[in-house]
Amino acid sequence: MKNGNLLVSIITPTFNRAKFIEKTILSIKNQDYSLIEHIVVDGLSNDNTVDILKKYEKTYNLKWVSEKDSGCQNAINKGFKMATGDIFCWLDSDDFYLPKTLKKVIDVFQNNPDIDAVFGDVQIIDQNGKVINYIKNTNFDIDRLIYLGMHIYPQATFWRASLHKKLGGLDERFFRCADYDFFIRMGLSGAKIHHIRDYLACYRHHTGQLTGSNNDIKKEWDTISGEYINKNFSLVGLKFKKFKILLKQTINYIKQGDLLYVLKGAINRFRNKFFKNKA
């Protein structure tokens, strides 16, 4: 903390993302909140990623290392061990923040010392930066996260360093969904988590992403959620639990004025379920 203001530590793991990382860097460098520490952990890229890092390293508080790691989660954990800020977050090197994001987030933390974490909404973009979808959220619900799956995006989530110390970083057993496990542990820790009803970041969909196929993601989701769901539920009881959570979520969306968002989601799920393989 400097003069009562909060230092934000932003971790960016990267490997051969020269095509996108400059946009990521500029989205941080050009924020209207300047008390930041940007730590890029590169896994020995063989494109011109390092040249881009050298280009910007003296233009703002950018720190970087380029060395072998054992994957994205390892790189993120390595970056957090280097971090000295009050607020922690990570931003992948193919994603970027929207203007004024950090100021909006810091205002919440500074005005609400009891809040431990903040998350917002996300725009989904293609490899050319065109918005192709968007993700809206409601207030944090740990049951929704455990039983219905990942809906909080790390690109738009921020938390206090004290909370990070309590959680202990990402579980490197999980290659694709360590963020899912991390946010479940955050919710179960008793942390007070606040939702900002605004778009904070853009999440890029493109060929070459490390996330993997939907089947790969679902398998890891199931493994993670299986560690936290109530084992006493019967199959019918589990389905009813999920239905109640989904109903509560729908009501919350409608209450906050997002009926059209709910209807669009329902139409897309219906289309995917019944017409996906009938092209």
Average of per-residue pLDDT across 53-76: 95
**63 assigned to some structural domain:** yes
| Residue 77: both structure tokens together | 């954990």
**118 assigned to some structural domain:** yes
**Segments forming the whole domain that contains residue 30:** 8-229
Average of per-residue pLDDT across 170-194: 95
- Cα 33 from Cα 47, distance rounded (Å): 31
| Residue 279: both structure tokens together | 């092209």
pLDDT digits (tens, 9 = 90+) for 196-241: 999 999 999 877 665 556 778 888 989 999 999 999 999 999 999 9
**DSSP 8-state secondary structure symbol assigned to residue 170:** -
What is the β-pairing status of strands 36-42 and 8-14? parallel
**pLDDT grade for 4, boundaries at 50, 70 and 90:** low
Contact of 102 with 31, CB cutoff 8 Å: yes
**199 assigned to some structural domain:** yes
- Cα 61 from Cα 38, distance rounded (Å): 6
**260 assigned to some structural domain:** no
| Residue 251: both structure tokens together | 């009501």
Per DSSP, which regions of 20-107 are E strands? 36-42, 62-66, 87-90, 96-97
pLDDT of residue 279: 44
pLDDT digits (tens, 9 = 90+) for 97-116: 999 999 999 999 999 999 99
The CATH number covering residue 95 comes to: 3.90.550.10
- Cα 161 from Cα 89, distance rounded (Å): 9
Q: Which residue has the higher pLDDT, 276 or 42?
A: 42
**168 assigned to some structural domain:** yes
Average of per-residue pLDDT across 185-196: 97
**44 assigned to some structural domain:** yes
Number of domains in the chain: 1
